[in-house]
């Protein structure tokens, strides 16, 4: 593949004896991988695990498979998986994924949180935020809000709020050259410096949102020192931060200037290019948190009654959180959030469903987020019926069932709710997600 001459010169100088081996990797295929979702039931035995990871496997996932449609697996290359693994939030934490699309790091963070605490998954691009929403919805987590904002706007709501911030910065993309050949076309010698300025400006806002004693995971998919070690040095010089050591697993190497950070080169690490730094705020956590305006419910008494009637009849668990409507749509927000009215919201927590005249209809997202143990009625379908259903067709059952809402379950995991009338399963699979085999 084509590589810019200045790029070759730069890494020949930086890598010395290893440069030839490094440059040869650009003639090989990129490495594909995926993670399994611990929030889902029906875990299968997958082959070719990525060493030293809790959920990672080498290989490709079909977007038409039942595993993908129900959120049991998520495609993410091995080096990118290391960011979430370094962050590894503990249950109950307040976490921000500042540049989240398409969702790999957010879904990884949600795997650790296990439906506790809160994740704000932010993406400034409206177009990319829609992809992020789709991927998070499929993953089935209940404790995440997707925002569509700039970092400076987030600071107005989340000052000193987060225990952990993950920022995978917009970068020169050198580590993606092998995966995306077009990325070489816009690379030039000064591009890393230009990207570093943008990263620095966003980090200035990120630091306003980090709680005293909190952690910051900073990463890029590039090898440029200007965007990596130089940004880390600036952070250490400017803020009350200390570097935490990242264990060097699976072929990771230490940084050019700091031994604590991790670099992933494709001739050493089986994956694409990545840089990760792990920092901790050294200020003492505040005993008294600053008072913030809390989010409030806005349901009418009729809406609350309709939701409670549905939940009593169809759910086997009680969902905790704050109920809010947006138009006729009902959402469940994680507890402990400030008022989000100032922000553009792409997904206001877990979408529960829609209020219609004198009734409530459950959402696809709710049926994906719940396990069969969480509902009163579900129906299992086989792979042949799955292929019929995702194409937008009804399913005929061998015998009639009582009319009503049922969770559709394939291979142990939910894929939405559907209404059964007699022996017919009506199709409620979202039109925008349908496909044919």
Write the DSSP string, 196-223.
HHHHHHHHHHHHHHEEEEEEEEEEES--
Q: Given a cut of 80, is residue 359 above it in pLDDT?
A: yes
11's CB contacts (< 8 A; 6+ apart) are 19, 22, 23, 223
Q: Given a cut of 80, is residue 287 above it in pLDDT?
A: no
Confidence of residue 292 (pLDDT cuts 50, 70, 90): confident
Q: Given a cut of 70, is residue 289 above it in pLDDT?
A: no
Q: Counting every residue, how long is the chain?
A: 437
Best CA proximity match to 417, nearest among 386, 390, 378, 383: 378
Q: What average pLDDT does range 219-245 have in this prediction? A: 98
Note the pLDDT of residue 40.
93
- Asked if 195 is an active-site residue, the reply is no
- Whether residue 398 is annotated as binding a ligand: the answer is no
Distance, CA of 39 to chain centre: 13
Q: What average pLDDT does range 142-164 have in this prediction? A: 97
| Average predicted confidence (pLDDT) for the chain | 96
Confidence of residue 244 (pLDDT cuts 50, 70, 90): very high
Q: What average pLDDT does range 250-266 have in this prediction? A: 97
User: In terms of CATH architecture, what is 5-281?
Assistant: 3-Layer(aba) Sandwich (3.40)
DSSP 8-state secondary structure symbol assigned to residue 315: B
Q: Tell me whether domains 5-281 and 377-437 share a fold.
A: no
- pLDDT tens digits for 25-52? 999 999 999 999 999 976 777 899 999 9
- Whether residue 104 is annotated as binding a ligand: the answer is yes
Best CA proximity match to 378, nearest among 413, 407, 410: 407
CA within 13 Å, CB half, 314: 26
Rounded Cα distance between 122 and 33, Å, is 24
Integer angstrom CA distances of residue 13 from 70, 175, 229: 47, 17, 17
**Among 30-34, 84-88, 287-291, which stretch is predicted with the lowest mean pLDDT?**
287-291
Best CA proximity match to 274, nearest among 256, 262, 257: 262
Pick the CATH number of 377-437 from 3.90.1150.10, 2.40.50.140, 1.10.10.60, 2.30.130.60: 2.30.130.60
Note the pLDDT of residue 347.
96
- pLDDT tens digits for 399-437? 999 999 999 999 999 999 999 999 999 999 999 999 999
- pLDDT tens digits for 343-358? 999 999 999 999 999 9
- Whether residue 100 is annotated as binding a ligand: the answer is yes
Q: Given a cut of 60, is residue 288 above it in pLDDT?
A: no
- Whether residue 101 is annotated as binding a ligand: the answer is yes
The phi-psi region of residue 333 (left if phi > 0; otherwise alpha if psi is between -120 and 50; otherwise beta) is beta
Note the pLDDT of residue 42.
67
With a pLDDT cut of 70, the percent of the chain lying above it is 98
Q: Helical H runs in 88-176?
A: 104-113, 126-139, 151-155
Note the pLDDT of residue 235.
98
Domain map of the chain by residue range? 5-281, 296-344+351-367, 377-437
Q: Are 73 and 35 in contact (CB under 8 A)?
A: yes
Note the pLDDT of residue 286.
67
Q: Which two tokens stand for residue 351?
A: 């979408």
Note the pLDDT of residue 22.
98
Q: What average pLDDT does range 210-225 have in this prediction? A: 97
Q: What average pLDDT does range 212-223 have in this prediction? A: 97
- Whether residue 213 is annotated as binding a ligand: the answer is no
CB neighbours of residue 391 within 10 Å: 13
Distance, CA of 97 to chain centre: 8
The catalytically annotated residue of 50, 118, 164, 221 is 221
């Amino acid at each position: 593949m084509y590589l810019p001459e200045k790029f070759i010169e730069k890494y020949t100088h930086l890598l010395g004896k290893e440069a030839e081996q490094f440059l040869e990797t650009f003639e090989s295929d990129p490495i594909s991988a995926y993670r399994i979702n611990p929030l889902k039931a029906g875990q299968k035995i997958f082959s070719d695990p990525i060493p030293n990871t809790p959920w990672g496997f080498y290989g490709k996932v079909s977007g038409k498979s039942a595993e993908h449609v129900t959120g049991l697996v998520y495609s993410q290359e091995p080096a990118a998986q290391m960011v979430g693994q370094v962050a590894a939030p503990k249950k109950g934490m307040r976490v921000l994924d500042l540049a989240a699309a398409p969702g790999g790091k957010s879904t990884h963070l949600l795997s650790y949180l296990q439906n506790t605490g809160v994740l704000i998954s932010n993406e400034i691009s409206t177009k990319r935020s829609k992809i992020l929403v789709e991927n998070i919805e499929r993953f089935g987590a209940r404790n995440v809000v997707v925002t569509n904002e700039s970092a400076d706007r987030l600071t107005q709501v989340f000052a000193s709020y987060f225990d952990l911030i993950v920022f995978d910065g917009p970068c020169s993309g050198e580590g993606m050259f092998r995966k995306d050949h077009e990325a070489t076309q816009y690379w030039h010698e000064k591009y890393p410096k230009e990207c570093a300025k943008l990263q620095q400006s966003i980090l200035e806002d990120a630091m306003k949102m980090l709680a005293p004693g909190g952690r910051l995971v900073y990463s890029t998919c590039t090898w440029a020192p200007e965007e990596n070690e130089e940004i880390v040095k600036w952070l250490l010089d400017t803020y009350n931060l200390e570097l935490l050591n990242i264990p060097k697993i699976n072929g990771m190497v230490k940084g050019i200037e700091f031994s604590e950070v991790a670099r992933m080169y494709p001739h050493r690490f089986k994956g694409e290019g990545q840089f990760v730094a792990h920092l901790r705020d050294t200020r003492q956590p505040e005993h008294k948190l600053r008072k913030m305006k809390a989010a409030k419910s806005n349901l009418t008494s009729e809406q609350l009654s309709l939701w409670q009637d549905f939940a009593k009849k169809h759910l086997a668990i009680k969902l905790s959180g704050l109920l809010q409507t947006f138009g006729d749509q009902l959402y469940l927000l994680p507890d402990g959030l400030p008022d989000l009215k100032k922000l553009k919201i792409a997904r206001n927590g877990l979408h529960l469903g829609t209020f219609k005249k004198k009734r409530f209809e459950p959402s696809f997202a709710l049926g994906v987020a719940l396990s069969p143990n969480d509902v009163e009625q579900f129906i299992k379908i086989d792979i042949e019926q799955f292929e019929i259903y995702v194409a937008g067709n009804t399913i005929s059952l061998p015998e009639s069932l009582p009319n009503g809402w049922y969770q559709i379950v394939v291979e142990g995991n939910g894929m939405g709710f559907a209404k059964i009338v007699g022996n017919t399963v009506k199709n409620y699979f979202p039109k925008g997600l349908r496909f044919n085999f």
